[in-house]
Amino acid sequence: MIIRIMGEGQLKLEDAAVDELNKLDADLEKAVESSDQAAFGSALRALLVRAREVGVELPPDAIEPSDLILPREDATIEEVRELMTDDGLIPG
């Protein structure tokens, strides 16, 4: 499975590792929904730290769509909300 950490690049990881990331992702989603800034920051960091640990960097010349996309480390709740709707992306 291929994941992207925004601003950092893509990682390849075993499917088995995804379950764990999904659990961390659920925490993140909860924090976004409840607008809990503190929980959001720590959930995002935990998710990214784990993803970097289990993932292997894809070569820079690989051109592959990602199965999952993770926000950048210093993203705000608002930015993540925008990324989950159409508003967050630059048109074109």
Which stretches of the chain bind other proteins, using CB under 8 A?
Answer: 3-4, 6-9, 21-22, 25-26, 28-29, 32, 47, 59-71, 80, 83-86, 88-92
CB of 32 to other proteins, least distance (A): 6
Strands 2-5 and 68-70: parallel
CB of 81 to other proteins, least distance (A): 10
E strands within 6-82? 9-12, 56-57, 68-70
Closest CB to other proteins among residues 7, 14:
7
Q: In sequence order, what are the residues at sequence separation of 6 or more whose Cβ sits closer than 8 angstroms to the Cβ of residue 47? A: 21, 24, 25, 27, 28, 70
CB of 21 to other proteins, least distance (A): 7
C-alpha span between 90 and 36 (Å, rounded): 27
